[in-house]
A = this chain, B = another copy of it.
Amino acid sequence: MARDTLNSSVTSIGVIMNGVTGRMGTNQHLLRSIMAIRQQGGLRVSATHTVMPDPILVGRNEAKLEALAHRAGVDRWTTSLAKALDDPFNTIYFDAQLTQLRSSAVLQAIEAGKHIYCEKPTGVNTAEAYELYTRAKARGVCQGVVQDKLFLPGLLKLKWLIDSGFFGRILSIRGEFGYWVFTGHDQISAQRPSWNYRKDDGGGIIVDMLCHWRYVLDNLFGSVRSVVCMGATHVPERVDENGTPYRCTADDSAYAIFQLDGGMVAQFNSSWTVRVRRDDLLTLQVDGTNGSAVAGLRDCVMQPYAATPRPVWNPDQDSPIDFAKNWMTVPTNQIFDNGFKTQWELFLQHISTGSPFPYDLREGAKGVQLAELGLQSWSERRWVDVPELER
């Protein structure tokens, strides 16, 4: 349905999109967020004002850029980041490059006075990531970091339960993430890029996932105060994009326990070497004094106190309780748009109207910090406290 923009002025906003030829950048950010916002007639940020993002693609491979521009229906693209930054029409800089390349490009964009929005992890270490925060703050530009898991419909339903007081006092959280990632040794091709499994290329599930768990825990439950984490490389060999076997040097599984503010404990398994006997690829079980819930990507089930069964341990007969049955599904009371697009809209709203956008570069740095401390915990075989990053 066409939006009614009769009485509304439209402002075009140039958005530099750097490094979106990869799968996530192309699909989630370019096609399903920016182009989707364009197709819906822009984002109406007030009764009288609509903003229309106008992307310019930046990358290193001209042929790939041209092909993507053609495919997406974008007419602006360049291999020169400097040129894109020089153009005052472009007021937003978005970065989805490899993590190793992010910092210098973002700093350039900050210098050029652009608003910054970027993918996670926001740096290869906490110091680098935190510098982006302080520099952007000093320069006075708006800042944002992608925190897509918060916008999963299942987690939005969980948030609703939390906000409604359903749980009473929350006691503990169980996170299970992962699935069996085929190694590529047989007719079923490998599922993920080979660099994910090589340490030197920035791979490893701790680096990949603990960034996510930080903002999920901090935003939904309470600040992470301590972490113990251990990684493992359970599958030592996989087959790369060219069909060549290679040695896996990065962790494919992470076992972590977090202590949160208020005495809550969060236990998280992340693994590319498990099979899924649960509701979804990611599940969060939350147990509280008044009830429990388990959220997946799209659904969330709940068991209130009064529906809690009182089981008896008796291995001599089949359980009279069907433990899966006494849970009820949280209804889908609202339509959930693509989470990446939702966050883009919040950011566009933020830079246009000054509305709050809590996911700034300090939040991004906090994610990098938790991953870094997780690796430290693994190496030192002990619990590690999480120091606060100054605001």
The residues of A with any CB-CB pair to B shorter than 8 Å are 1-2, 4, 6-7, 63-64, 66-67, 71, 152-154, 156-157, 159-161, 163-164, 166, 171-172, 174, 179-180, 182, 186-189, 191, 226, 228, 230, 232, 234-235, 253, 255, 257, 259, 263, 265, 267, 269, 271, 273-281, 285, 287, 289-292, 294, 297-298, 301-311, 313-319, 321, 323-324, 326-331, 333-334, 338-339, 381-383
Chain B residues in 8 Å Cβ range of A281? 311, 313, 319, 323
Give the residue of B230, B265, B314, B323 whose beta carbon is less than 8 angstroms from that of A265.
Answer: B230
Copies in the complex: 4
Give the residue of B63, B265, B273, B331 whose beta carbon is less than 8 angstroms from that of A171.
Answer: B273
By the criterion CB–CB under 8 Å, are A334 and B306 in contact? no
With A172-B274, A383-B382 in contact, do A302 and B307 touch (Cβ < 8 Å)?
yes
Report Cα–Cα, A171/B232, bound state, in Å: 9
Report Cα–Cα, A6/B68, bound state, in Å: 12
CB distance from A52 to the nearest CB of B (A): 20
Chain B residues in 8 Å Cβ range of A265? 230, 232, 234, 253, 255
Report Cα–Cα, A236/B154, bound state, in Å: 31
Report Cα–Cα, A64/B6, bound state, in Å: 9
Report Cα–Cα, A172/B305, bound state, in Å: 22
With A275-B303, A315-B153 in contact, do A188 and B333 touch (Cβ < 8 Å)?
yes
CB distance from A294 to the nearest CB of B (A): 5
Chain B residues in 8 Å Cβ range of A189? 334
- Chain B residue, CB-CB nearest to A341: B316
Report Cα–Cα, A175/B321, bound state, in Å: 20
With A163-B187, A257-B230, A281-B311 in contact, do A71 and B331 touch (Cβ < 8 Å)?
no
Can you list 8 A-B pairs, Cβ within 8 angstroms, ordered by A?
A160-B187, A274-B285, A277-B294, A277-B303, A278-B323, A281-B319, A298-B319, A308-B331
Chain B residues in 8 Å Cβ range of A230? 228, 257, 259, 265
Which 7 A-B pairs give the minimum distances between C-beta atoms?
A310-B333, A275-B292, A382-B382, A381-B383, A171-B234, A309-B331, A297-B315
CB distance from A224 to the nearest CB of B (A): 14
